[in-house]
Amino acid sequence: MTPTLGHLINGIPSLGSYARVMAEMEAVLNHPHSTLADLGEVIEKDPALTARLLKLGNSSFFGFPNRLETVAEAVSVIGIQQVQDLILASNVVELFEGIAADLADMESFWKHSLACGIGARCLAIARQMPKAEKFFVAGLLHDLGRLVLFSRAPDQAVEIFRVYRSRRMLLREAEVAVLDFDHARISQALMRSWQYPANLVHAVAYHHFPMSAGLYQLESSLVHLADYLVHAMQMGHSGERFVPPLNLKAWERVGLATSILESVMRSIDEQIEIVQETFLKVPEKVEGPEPAPCAQPAK
């Protein structure tokens, strides 16, 4: 029996092990006399999360000139919303552990997803988009629906890969052939159930067809372009072995000079290791600042 979208996403928690941290952060934020130090104390109750946040804050991902010593300092320079986004991203990585190795190479899956997140964020910075960390989260989650398929419908996933290999089509086309919908539709339904903001939902849901994203064509186009670059760089994969076609109208919508692509790809190359270590492992120690942050737009 072919599963429905509702069946696939039913009961998947949005916060998992970080529910308590996010709830306590919300309580602090709603208190009229709270400080960043109070917020830092909440996060510091989770040592792994603290190490992850400081390691990322002191890495080339952000490229801050001064070393961050405390969580309160990290929150002050990264921003509260961005810290919450990074916590949510950490939770999604943990949420889908244990998927069968014969369905997915999870190390390769997360390398592709994290690289796409880095690329989308770098493109957003170059495009001078506000809250660029949102694009890291969008890039990270762009293939989230495939994880849902692997974990909730393994038999259908096996059939999708059979069709994919026998017909030599794109993997998303094989998903539609078997299910009548693809992984992007699953991602859209799940993120809506988690009450993610519309711009983030659309950026993920339409990353293959960004010009169909209505008001959020630019957001979707940035993720589309990042996904294309990461595929072209052979930076991991989520099951898809072909390079999906580039939508030229999406490239025009982004409106950046082609010269920016070299620096974006260089940033992906130089940042992927630290981001993988941060999100896929509990950091053992906090490293100092590193070079090569995302290129800033020309003044």
Q: Is residue 291 part of a domain?
A: no
Per-residue pLDDT tens for 201-257?
999 999 999 999 999 999 999 999 999 999 999 999 989 888 889 999 999 999 999
Query: Above 80 in pLDDT, residue 98?
Result: no
Q: Is residue 288 part of a domain?
A: no
Query: Above 80 in pLDDT, residue 268?
Result: yes
Q: Is residue 294 part of a domain?
A: no
Q: Note the pLDDT of residue 156.
A: 95
Q: Is residue 30 part of a domain?
A: yes
Centre a 10 Å sphere on the Cβ of residue 195 and count the other Cβ atoms it contains. Answer: 8
* Number of structural domains found in the chain: 1
Query: Above 70 in pLDDT, residue 15?
Result: no
Query: Above 70 in pLDDT, residue 290?
Result: no
Q: Supply the CATH number for residue 134's domain.
A: 1.10.3210.10
Query: Above 80 in pLDDT, residue 30?
Result: yes
Q: Is residue 111 part of a domain?
A: yes
* Residue 299 token pair: 């003044």
Domain that holds residue 270: 14-280
60/57 Cα distance (integer angstroms): 8
User: Cβ(190)–Cβ(148) under 8 Å?
Assistant: yes
Residues 6+ apart with CB under 8 A from 202: 213, 214, 215, 216, 219, 220
Q: Is residue 152 part of a domain?
A: yes
43/72 Cα distance (integer angstroms): 9
